[in-house]
Chain A
């Protein structure tokens, strides 16, 4: 059984068909990339999975459960974490605080215990801090631990957002353009991290990305999307060689 399965999903905004009868399945342990020209519906697919949009028809299941039954705030509890194309962090909080919010779904103590800062709460806080410190070490965020997000450079914020997603302890990680706006070296780091996230942490990764260099070096399978519909699917090399993909990117007659 696939970890994530989208079957014949369709989403329309008025007369515009954003996602057209799209089916895809992501297997446990793989890195699956979605590519396609601007406006192809890549981010829309992410927003369907995060329950920001309700599909017009079709089904989405995750880990055998019907995802469409869940509200947006229940998606994290299933073990799905995501990053955003334009970085959505808590700007007036420190890096550490942002990562700790990632632990939100794991807090099990009651309001009264928390108000009195009971021993159980203390033990839990320490455990959460340890989990977050592992993420800090993994992503080399040590120098920024207590810095406010609002003052950090773009590249660092991008990494913090990845860290916050990891801190939730996900089974599936959705990365929306992880390399956009990053320098060559930062993109290189991102590549190692995605590799390690899959290999060391055993987290399945679904990403949307324009940088074909990054896509072909980390992904097992690639889906090319155009006008909300599947154009081609396969290994990075297969998809890049597909005539329909070349046509969608470069126009008719370019081959």
Chain B
């Protein structure tokens, strides 16, 4: 029973990692760049929701505030691409990496200035109440996290497999020039994917904040989510989710059965093992080039 309890709470945590990892993979799929500010996007999404719904701020109903925050983050993602990242069009990956790391710092600082550096709680209906299933106690927030994550992953998977826009995004990531001459407006498509990843980050942020307190440094969780994305195989959406779940589940078990610090190390030990034995990740879609 204890094992089951650990597993379930690990899965709920893992879903949050998985959602942030999805954001990494989205940007990577569409632009072959890594957005190291993804965790900070998540934190910002949570704070925007908090700012809209908490009583001491704008006091909007949660079910209005949440979609609004998702929309705000989507627009922010698009604008960030339009005004900042598009300037680097055609530059090396390193430039994008450094830029997004810097963006992360900026977002963290700005959030601190607006909402303060103290941990705050989101007034979310998701954080109230528990469900008891045969002795395993699940918070409402945990259930919500798991359900929303599964739905969102299915949506994104279908989006990239089936839709004209999703396929155009993949084409644009593989060869910008060829994509142009197939009739794909490459820059707009890349902007839209930043918007999509902003929306995903907002959803992750709302769920994360519903599970506990949030502060401007919460975005550093992104590093763990990055590990999850690598474990799953960068570029694979289901891989990102599974990677997140694995990291989420490992943590509570490591802290239960080993000494205190091990739960922090465990995800990275796994990351190293995956990099050694399956360098392309567990669900890799990248095939090795023949020379």
CB contacts (< 8 Å) of A91 on chain B: these are 174-175
CB contacts (< 8 Å) of A105 on chain B: these are 182-183
Q: Are A73 and B167 in contact (CB under 8 A)?
A: no
Given the known interface contacts A93-B174, A150-B289, A151-B290, the answer about A81 and B162 at a Cβ–Cβ threshold of 8 Å is no
| Total number of residue pairs linking A and B with CB closer than 8 Å | 83
Q: Are A150 and B287 in contact (CB under 8 A)?
A: yes
Q: Are B164 and A114 in contact (CB under 8 A)?
A: yes
- Say yes or no: is A90 at the interface (Cβ < 8 Å to chain B): yes
Tell me how far the C-beta of B106 lies from the nearest C-beta in chain A, rounded to whole angstroms: 32
Q: Are A73 and B185 in contact (CB under 8 A)?
A: yes
Q: Are B174 and A90 in contact (CB under 8 A)?
A: yes
Q: Are B177 and A115 in contact (CB under 8 A)?
A: no
- The range of chain B's interface size is 20 to 34
- Per-position contact with B for A40-53: 1 when CB-CB < 8 Å, else 0? 00000000001010
Given the known interface contacts A101-B167, A117-B162, the answer about A72 and B181 at a Cβ–Cβ threshold of 8 Å is yes
Q: Are B181 and A150 in contact (CB under 8 A)?
A: no
CB contacts (< 8 Å) of B186 on chain A: these are 73
Q: Are A111 and B182 in contact (CB under 8 A)?
A: no
In the complex, A135→B159 CA distance in Å?
Answer: 27
Tell me how far the C-beta of A221 lies from the nearest C-beta in chain B, rounded to whole angstroms: 24
Q: Are A114 and B178 in contact (CB under 8 A)?
A: no
Q: Are A104 and B181 in contact (CB under 8 A)?
A: no
Q: Are A76 and B171 in contact (CB under 8 A)?
A: no
- Say yes or no: is A199 at the interface (Cβ < 8 Å to chain B): no
- Say yes or no: is B109 at the interface (Cβ < 8 Å to chain A): no
Nearest first, the 3 A-B pairs at minimum CB distance are: A76-B183, A105-B183, A114-B163
- Tell me the B residues contacting A by CB distance below 8 Å: 155, 158-159, 162-165, 167-168, 170-171, 174-175, 177-186, 285-287, 289-290
